Amino acid sequence: MPRFPAFLTGLLPQLFKRPDATVEPANLRDAPRLSQLHRASFHRGWGTEEFEQILIERNALAHRLRLGGSTIGFIVSRTAADEAEILSVAVAQKHRGHGFSRDLLRTHLGHLAGLGLKTVFLEVEENNRPARALYERAGFRVVGRRERYYKDASGEQLNAVVMQRDLL
């Protein structure tokens, strides 16, 4: 184990500590920022109006991820009967890889379970390894595949996998 000078030893926990983020319900005022995050994360980003429409739906559940005073991520689901479908998840590029999406997903799934929902589905681009790893670690499993479901910026058609997780 390396030895550090005393003045560095006191700083090390602060240097490697992940800042605290909070997950809270999203509301209509968040629509412009959620749209901005979505457009930065996906080829076909949703507009503010699309988010406004989703956020006013009675069967939609949305959470925002806040760090300091800024919204750095979100997750949105739609519910029907005892099931939910996660429509989109995004975290700002500079905040990826720090576990924020894991916390966001875990909190959101807890709220879905608290509503009495039994099953959650989602679609993810087949080659999106970070997202698939996130979902697999959260207990999702592949239950289907959609051929040429997505289109990337070059126009190439990409496959999606359908994933499912039981909540109860």
Assign residue 56 a region: left if phi > 0, alpha if psi is -120 to 50, beta otherwise? alpha
Q: What 3-state class would DSSP assign to 105?
A: helix
Longest Cα–Cα distance of the chain, Å, equals 60
Pair of tokens at residue 154: 């070059």
65-106 tens-digit pLDDT: 999 889 999 999 999 999 999 999 999 999 988 889 999 999
Structural domains in the chain, CATH included, are: 21-166 (3.40.630.30)
| Residue pLDDT tens, the chain, 168 long | 445 444 444 444 444 445 688 999 999 999 999 999 999 998 888 999 999 999 999 999 999 999 988 999 999 999 999 999 999 999 999 998 888 999 999 999 999 999 999 999 999 888 888 899 999 999 999 998 887 666 666 667 777 899 999 997
The number of angstroms, rounded, from the C-alpha of 38 to the middle of its chain's C-alpha atoms is: 10
